Amino acid sequence: MSSFINRHRNIIDFALSSLLRRKIKNISLLGVYTLIIFVLASLIFFVHALRREAALILKNAPDMVVQRLMAGRHELIPVDYGQKISSIRGVQDVVPRLWGYYFDPAIGSNYTVMVPRDNMVQPDNIIIGTGVARVRKASVRDLIAFQAYDKTPLLLMIQQILPYESELVAADLILMSEQDFQSMFNLPKGYATDLAVSVANPRELVTVATKIAEQFPDTRPILKSEILRTYDSVFDWRGGMMIVIMSAAILSFIIFAWDKATGLSAEERKEIGILKSIGWETSDVLFLKFWEGIVISLSAFLCGVLLAYGHVFFFSATIFEHALKGWSILYPQFRLVPAIDAFQLTVLFALSVLPYTVATIVPAWLAASADPDAAMRS
């Protein structure tokens, strides 16, 4: 056993010194390799962190939302639907929700306007998200002017600015009283945007949803689990699409690595020839090449992953955010919570180190199996 370990220690020693002897060639390879891993890792970490964030946010979402559809589009729902739904066995609570979007021509962005459940906002007051406060340069007790549905001005005073922790969900949020909501949007009486339904036993959700869909054929019940599923697949799809687009870059890198591995310099050929003539076997040279590959791959993997970690979790993935988050005037500013697990690292490994290794096996063998005299003479 110890002779086995010693043999490999010596080969690793030789591999390291041989890598250092060809600094320029190996540093250029390491640089490109690190770059590829950095881009892939940033993408994988970012998508995973966003998925996680979405799941955390939706934890507090209602179990089920019932929307009304008309001509295939979302319509206002009569509040008395809610009374009938609450009589279905198993339904714990039905709350009509009032919310909508307001376009602010002054800064060209959309706000989400909502009436909170527990009358936490006094009439003529609003509570705003940090994003709104930022773009309107407003602080508590300032007045903000809105335009009502009939173009009449509506002046509302800022009662509170939501804490920074809620930035990701509430950057563009404005909470107002029901009375102000009515004067802003003039919703018909007895209607709500949708209904939030809570069910005591989560196992009964599907049954309750089926009953609602049967009793009110013009409605669409949406379960929280379905929203989560949709988010998951949207993020997966975006991540996957980016990787498909990047596959051209990965392929170019593989060709680059193949080219570097096959294009042995005369000096390297000679070196292998000398090694073989002094008693190294083909398998020893193969081990040498194997350890060289491991050193390069692990260094690139480590550097790439560390750089990507900084990029995603300290700099909020500046390079990818626009492609992956979608577009908006009023971006939430948020720092993602670092979350990396073995799964992402394994995926990253399979997408980068594995193709690199496969691309270098045959060149390594070609170098190792050359005849010593021919190698030295070349």
Partner 1 sequence: MILQPAILALLVSSFLVSLMLLYAGWYGVLILKNWDLASGSDLQLNLEKRTYLISVVLGYALVFQIFSLFLYIFTADSLHTQFVGAMCAAGSLNVNHYGYPTLLLKIANCLLSGVWLIINFADNRGYDYPLIKAKYSLLMILAPLVVLEALLQFGYFKGLHADVITSCCGSLFSAGKRSVGADLAGLPAIPMEWIFFGVMAATLISGVVFCFKEWGGYFFSAASLSTFIISAASLVSFICLYIYELPTHHCPFCILQKEYGYIGYALYATLLGGGITGLGVGALMPFKKIASLVQVVPLIQRRLTWLSMLFYLLFTILVASKMLFTSFRL
**# residues contacting partner 1 (CB under 8 A):** 54
Stretch that binds partner 1, among 78-86, 137-145, 189-197, 344-352 (CB under 8 A): 344-352
54-73 binders of partner 1 (CB under 8 A):
69, 72
Query: Checking DSSP bridges between strand 173-176 and strand 109-114, what pairing results, if any?
Result: parallel
Both structure tokens of 195: 């209904």
Residue 273 CB, shortest distance to partner 1, in Å, is: 15
Whole-number Å distance between alpha carbons of 39 and 232: 21
Stretch that binds partner 1, among 83-91, 101-109, 255-263, 282-290 (CB under 8 A): 282-290
Quote the crossing angle between the two packed helices 282-313 and 342-368, to the nearest 10°.
Answer: 150
Q: Based on CB atoms, which residue is closest to partner 1, 155 or 244?
A: 244
Residue 286 CB, shortest distance to partner 1, in Å, is: 6
Residue 229 CB, shortest distance to partner 1, in Å, is: 5
Q: Based on CB atoms, which residue is closest to partner 1, 302 or 362?
A: 362
Asked if 351 interacts with partner 1 (CB under 8 A), we say yes
* Other beta carbons within 10 Å of 164: 12
Q: Based on CB atoms, which residue is closest to partner 1, 122 or 233?
A: 233
Which of 12, 57, 95, 227 contacts partner 1 by CB under 8 A?
227
Which of 56, 110, 343, 378 contacts partner 1 by CB under 8 A?
343
Asked if 369 interacts with partner 1 (CB under 8 A), we say yes
User: Which residues make Cβ contacts (< 8 Å) with residue 340, sequence separation at least 6?
Assistant: 45, 48, 309
Stretch that binds partner 1, among 147-155, 176-184, 315-323, 342-350 (CB under 8 A): 342-350
- For residue 249, CA distances in Å to 99, 245, 352 come to 45, 8, 11
Asked if 358 interacts with partner 1 (CB under 8 A), we say yes
User: Which residues make Cβ contacts (< 8 Å) with residue 44, sequence separation at least 6?
Assistant: 239, 344, 347, 348
Both structure tokens of 224: 């929280």
Q: Based on CB atoms, which residue is closest to partner 1, 256 or 349?
A: 349
Q: Based on CB atoms, which residue is closest to partner 1, 1 or 24?
A: 1
Stretch that binds partner 1, among 133-141, 271-279, 324-332, 354-362 (CB under 8 A): 354-362
Whole-number Å distance between alpha carbons of 146 and 164: 24
Stretch that binds partner 1, among 30-38, 77-85, 111-119, 235-243 (CB under 8 A): 235-243
Residue 30 CB, shortest distance to partner 1, in Å, is: 21
Single-letter residue type at 132: V
Whole-number Å distance between alpha carbons of 221 and 243: 34
Please answer whether residues 156 and 177 qualify as being in contact, where contact means their C-beta atoms are separated by less than 8 angstroms.
no
Which of 220, 269, 270, 325 contacts partner 1 by CB under 8 A?
220
Q: Phi, psi at residue 93, to the nearest 5°?
A: -155, 140
Asked if 244 interacts with partner 1 (CB under 8 A), we say yes
Both structure tokens of 124: 């003529």
Which of 339, 357, 372, 376 contacts partner 1 by CB under 8 A?
357
Both structure tokens of 273: 């020839």
Residue 21 CB, shortest distance to partner 1, in Å, is: 24
Long-range CB pairs of 346-349, under 8 A, 24+ apart, other chains included = 347/44, 348/37, 348/40, 348/41, 348/44, 348/301, 348/305, 349/301
Stretch that binds partner 1, among 89-97, 140-148, 165-173, 223-231 (CB under 8 A): 223-231
Taken in order 212, 214, 220, 225, the sign of the CA dihedral is: positive
Which of 93, 232, 259, 373 contacts partner 1 by CB under 8 A?
232
At residue 145, the 3 state secondary structure works out as strand
Residues in contact with partner 1 by CB under 8 A are 43-44, 47, 69, 72, 205-206, 209-210, 213, 217-223, 225-230, 232-234, 236-237, 239-241, 243-244, 282-283, 286, 290, 341, 343, 346-347, 349-351, 354-355, 357-358, 361-362, 364-365, 368-369
